[in-house]
């Protein structure tokens, strides 16, 4: 069994092992973990912070804040990689530490330049999630700034500019949805309306967030993406729209049907699957209509959509195709779908 002596061992590896072993013991004295927060190794500190976070005790808030301040005073030396501060921010969020707001706001804008680049991106990600979970006053502004942070503050290769802070921007979009502030609709809408200088991964997160926050706004802003030259964005917009609840859901079916008939070949099946995901009778009718389209690829995409839907109504359409369709390729595809669904 590890003891305080193990926590004072010369080897950081031994101290880390001791902390990890102590965390697994439910009756471990918190003072031992508080002591580990002062360790010279940020890995040991990170482990201790994680253990305190799991206990979700208010008694840990002040020691965690104090530890964060100590590390932040000289982050590159005391906390390379921002590993300990990231663990501390997570732990404070687990403790529902509204009183530690200043830590979260400091973390969400921290940049740490090391030889590997900006190592504070995971710290900003964790802070963004915490701001949203705790719904702290001022979170909307902080998350909006993070969403539009496309200019790295560390050296980078020109081709990597948008990728340095990619994860932070993606998390900002997700956090805006969690935050639930109506003002986030405007922030996400501006990002989606002016898509230049942004990566598809971030735009897709913005689409999903907008669908969660405001269905009408999503219906206004996302349809133009259905015909985007980037099939990834087109399919992403379709998938996001397919997740709209009633009453907006009914308006999605004709949008997806029209987009599918104009879609490039690599987007046809994914768009058909998105259409099949719209839980309404109208989507089945649209797929049935598409099985009679002049283009074979679209007819086959419709069969795939019906297979993906797989409910009683879809099976009935597939059975009808097998009975009455003279198109051998469609009949074979429909029969395979029925065999899989049987």
Residue pLDDT, tens place only, 263-278 = 888 889 999 999 999 9
Peptide bond into 247 cis (omega under 30): yes
Q: Which residues pair with 118 in a beta bridge?
A: 113
Q: What is the per-residue pLDDT for 327? A: 87
Residue 128, classed as helix, strand or coil, is helix
Cα 280 to Cα 284: distance, rounded to the nearest angstrom: 7
| Closest of 194, 213, 192, 187 to residue 203, by C-alpha | 192
pLDDT at 3: 56
Per-residue pLDDT tens digits for 308-329: 999 999 999 999 999 987 889 9
Distance (Å, whole) CA 93 – CA 102: 12
**3-class SS of residue 114:** strand
Q: Whole-prediction pTM value?
A: 0.90
Counting as low any pLDDT under 50, the low residues of the chain are none
- pLDDT of the residue at 249: 85
What pLDDT, on a 0 to 100 scale, did the predictor assign at position 280?
Answer: 86
CB atoms within 10 A of CB 172: 33
Q: What is the predicted pLDDT for the residue at 49? A: 97
The per-residue pLDDT for 342 is: 85
Q: Dump pLDDT digits (tens) for 183-227.
A: 999 999 999 999 999 999 999 999 999 999 999 999 999 999 999
pLDDT recorded at residue 101: 98
65: part of which helix (H) or strand (E)?
helix 61-72
Q: Please tell me the predicted confidence (pLDDT) of residue 25.
A: 86
CA separation for the pair 124, 254 (Å, rounded): 40
- Residues 131 and 108: beta-carbon distance below 8 Å: yes
pLDDT at 1: 57
């Amino acid at each position: 069994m590890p003891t305080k002596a193990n926590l004072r061992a010369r080897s950081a590896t031994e101290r880390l092992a001791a902390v990890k072993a102590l965390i697994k013991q439910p009756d471990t004295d918190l003072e031992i973990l508080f002591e580990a927060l002062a360790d010279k190794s940020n890995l040991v500190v990170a482990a201790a912070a994680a253990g305190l976070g799991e206990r979700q005790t208010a008694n840990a808030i002040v020691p965690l804040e104090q530890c964060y301040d100590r590390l932040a005073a000289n982050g590159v030396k005391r906390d390379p990689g921002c590993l300990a501060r990231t663990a501390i921010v997570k732990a404070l969020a687990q403790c529902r530490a509204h009183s530690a707001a200043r830590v979260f706001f400091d973390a969400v804008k921290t940049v740490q330049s090391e030889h590997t680049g900006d190592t504070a991106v995971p710290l900003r990600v964790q802070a963004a999630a915490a701001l949203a979970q705790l719904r702290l006053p001022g979170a909307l502004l902080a998350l909006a700034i993070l969403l539009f942070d496309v200019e790295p503050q560390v050296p980078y290769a020109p081709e990597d500019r948008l990728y340095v802070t990619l994860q932070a921007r993606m998390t900002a979009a997700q956090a805006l949805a969690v935050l639930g502030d109506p003002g986030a609709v405007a922030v996400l809408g501006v990002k989606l309306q002016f898509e230049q200088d942004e990566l598809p991964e971030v735009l897709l997160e913005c689409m999903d967030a907008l669908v969660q926050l405001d269905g009408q706004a999503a219906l206004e802003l996302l349809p133009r993406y259905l015909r985007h030259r980037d099939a990834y964005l087109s399919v992403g917009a379709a998938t996001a729209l397919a997740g709209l609840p009633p009453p907006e859901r009914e308006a999605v079916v004709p949008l997806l049907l029209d987009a599918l008939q104009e879609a490039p070949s690599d987007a046809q099946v994914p768009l058909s699957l998105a259409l099949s995901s719209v839980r309404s009778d109208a989507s089945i009718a649209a797929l049935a209509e598409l099985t009679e389209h002049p283009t074979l690829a679209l007819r086959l995409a419709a069969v795939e959509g019906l297979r993906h839907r797989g409910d009683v109504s879809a099976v009935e359409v597939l059975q009808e195709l097998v009975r009455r369709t003279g198109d051998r390729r469609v009949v074979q595809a429909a029969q395979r779908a029925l065999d899989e669904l049987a």
